[in-house]
Structure 1
Amino acid sequence: MSTIVSAIISLTLQGQKLSQKQKIAAMEKVTFQRENLKLVGNLYFPKNFNPEEKYPAVIVGGSLTSVKEQMAATYAAKMALKGIVALAFDYSHYGESEGLPRQFEDPQNKLRDMKAAVSFLESLPYVEGIGALGICTSGGNVAYLAENDSRVKAIATVAAWLPNEATLPLLYGGEDNLEELRETGKKAKEVYLEMGDNQMVLAYSNTDKTASHFGPMEYYMDNNRGGGISAWKNSFSLMSWEPWLGFDPTSKAKNIKAPTMIIHSDGSALPDNAKQFYADLGGEKELVWLEGYHFDFYDQEKKVNEAANNAGRFFKAHIN
């Protein structure tokens, strides 16, 4: 199956006319503040956008270490083509957004980033209501957001990464190895605070077992797919281990009241956790169980379209 990354990279700026044949959303680079940090995003506009009208809007985020030009761009463009204003942005510490140390993963930082993104969309006069769409890791991040921010009217997840305390030992080699990783993170933080040295390992690798995530990682290893996005860095700050291993989006489900759509498959990460997350949701909800491998939902057109069609339908029904 062909990828759609190359098409997304060729997006045009707001105000330029787009042919029906192109089927590419108009886009404008934007900046907004989170406390003292500048965050950078790309804002995608529906066809025939009229700033005098009102539109539903969503923030869109992708996988661990990803940047806005990867799966966030893919889905934001799809949402725009469905009449939804969509913001794909770089979390702090990644891509074009500010934040030190670089490549630092912290779910609480990302929660603050998402709240700032919601505030930015809320400030736009043509936005009538706001939702959040998370792919892979950001599926868990939007769970944090929905639990904490009542401004979010609906959320949807695609192939979400939804770990919990019970699955962590299975994912990271047992309790002893988990404790070793946490200690590695603590020591790396001490080195950074004392010497300013941000120690890194590869984020993903098919061959290097020191990578934070080792295994079949074809999306990231393929220069025709995610690995070819120049803004992305295949790096993971060792300081991230402690906050990253505390990431527990499944515990948030029972507190989420906003309408929620879970889009998943047996071939996506932690399918049993996705089903449990769905069962625990306290509000209106919809489960869409598709076929497909986890990385297919990042950039393979058939799977992306299936997921985006469902998410777009859900957002149009619930954001107002």
Structure 2
Amino acid sequence: MRTDVSFFSNGLALAGHLHTPDVRAGHPLPTVVVIHPWGGVKEQTAGLYARRLTEHGFAALAFDAAHQGASEGEPHFLENPFQRAEDIKSAVSYLSTRKDVDPDRIGVLGISTGGGHALYAAVGDQRVRAVGTVSAACIGSLLRDGLGGGQDPAVFRKLVARAGLLRTDEALGEPALLEHIVPEEVDETTPDHLRQGHEYYRTARGGHLRSENAWVLRSVDQIAQYDSFVGIESLAPRPLLMVAGSAAATAYFSRTAVERAGEPQELFWIDGASHFDLYDKDEYVSLALAKLTSFFGEHLKRASAKGRVA
């Protein structure tokens, strides 16, 4: 069952879908906050994972981040990672006020850059009892270093300089400058990872009318100092599960994050899957969900009488 909900984050109203099991439970539920990727909305892969989690007895909240989808925030399509982390904490606050949610059994699941944001938020919010990621990535590293690393630092310095000029343009009344996230069109010269992104976001496969393949370019100066995995060592002893495809161009993010994280942590490989395969392809998503539901089932156990997770 899906319920449309709304909650506030830094004064902005965020639009969400709270997914719950079809058979009503007689007790507050363990709940997972599901975080969408860069450029995504709650109706896409985040909503798919949220719906599938309800089949295993969880409630799951998928929501549009501030400045994205049906949520408030101007300019629209601004990508502020620090606001993104605040949105996650605000989602946890909202869920903790609901009678049908057990506030001692809340976890987060982030997909792609949403996985990076989930980790960043959870490090600073101990109400989050367990963290899962799928195809995790850090938006800060992607822009600073390029996919896979090795980007000339001058490229990012130029982007940051341009972001400052764009702020001035907006102060003078110009509209925010938008750029595409994945190519609008592809051909034989398009890198495979971008081709896959186009196939998911810009076709009937995963496209959604509010996922417009746009971001505000001056977001760069808010992303400049951001690292999704800073302080990851202090997540422990809360558990971490990172799911990644063995063929994903972003797999190195999960590998290096798990190496830095404290115990308990696990990196679970989906053989042959690419980054975007784990968004919606059932043969891969089902494997990921089997692992995730086992993980959250173990670590979001029923709270004891003293209000602590047993």
TM-score by length of 1: 0.84
Give per-residue Cα distances to partners, 1:293-317, cap 9 Å, x unaligned. Answer: 1111011111111111111111111
For 1:193, the equivalent position in structure 2 comes to 171
| Residue 231 of structure 1, CA deviation | 2.0
| Residue 83 of structure 1, CA deviation | 0.6
In terms of mean alpha carbon deviation, does 90-99 or 274-283 score higher?
A: 274-283
Q: Secondary structure at the match of 2:122?
A: helix
Determine the C-alpha separation between the residues in 1 that align with 2:143 and 2:157: 15
Whether the aligned pair in 1 keeps the contact of 2:180 and 2:213 (CA below 8 Å) is yes
Whether the aligned pair in 2 keeps the contact of 1:114 and 1:145 (CA below 8 Å) is yes
Q: For residue 49 of structure 2, what is the amino acid of its counterpart?
A: Y
For 1:12, the equivalent position in structure 2 comes to none
| Residue 266 of structure 1, CA deviation | 2.4
For 1:319, the equivalent position in structure 2 comes to 300
Q: For residue 6 of structure 2, what is the amino acid of its counterpart?
A: T
For 1:232, the equivalent position in structure 2 comes to 211
Whether the aligned pair in 2 keeps the contact of 1:154 and 1:315 (CA below 8 Å) is yes
Q: CA RMSD in A?
A: 2.2
1:46 equivalent to 2:21? Answer yes
In terms of mean alpha carbon deviation, does 284-293 or 68-77 score higher?
A: 284-293
Determine the C-alpha separation between the residues in 2 that align with 1:231 and 1:163: 21
For 2:112, the equivalent position in structure 1 comes to 136
For 2:160, the equivalent position in structure 1 comes to 182
Give per-residue Cα distances to partners, 1:217-253, cap 9 Å, x unaligned. Answer: 33345422222x1121111111111223433123232
For 1:148, the equivalent position in structure 2 comes to 124
For 1:79, the equivalent position in structure 2 comes to 53
5+ long unaligned stretches in structure 1: 1-25
For 1:9, the equivalent position in structure 2 comes to none
Q: Secondary structure at the match of 1:249?
A: coil
TM-score by length of 2: 0.87
Q: For residue 165 of structure 2, what is the amino acid of its counterpart?
A: K
Whether the aligned pair in 2 keeps the contact of 1:269 and 1:294 (CA below 8 Å) is yes
Determine the C-alpha separation between the residues in 2 that align with 1:104 and 1:87: 22
Structure 1 residues 35 and 222 mapped into 2: Cα distance closer, same or farther (>3 Å)? closer
**Residue 265 (structure 2) aligned to one of 278, 282, 285:** 285
| Residue 168 of structure 1, CA deviation | 3.5
Determine the C-alpha separation between the residues in 2 that align with 1:163 and 1:64: 8
- Report how many residues are paired: 290
| Residue 173 of structure 1, CA deviation | 3.8
In terms of mean alpha carbon deviation, does 165-174 or 75-84 score higher?
A: 165-174
Equivalent residues in 2 for 1:1-320 (5 A)?
26-50=1-25, 52-128=26-102, 129-162=105-138, 168-171=144-147, 173-205=151-183, 207=185, 216-220=196-200, 222-227=202-207, 229-257=208-236, 258-291=238-271, 292-320=273-301
Q: For residue 294 of structure 1, what is the amino acid of its counterpart?
A: H
Whether the aligned pair in 2 keeps the contact of 1:32 and 1:117 (CA below 8 Å) is yes
Identity of aligned residues (%): 28
In terms of mean alpha carbon deviation, does 190-199 or 306-315 score higher?
A: 190-199
Q: Secondary structure at the match of 1:78?
A: helix
5+ long unaligned stretches in structure 2: 302-310
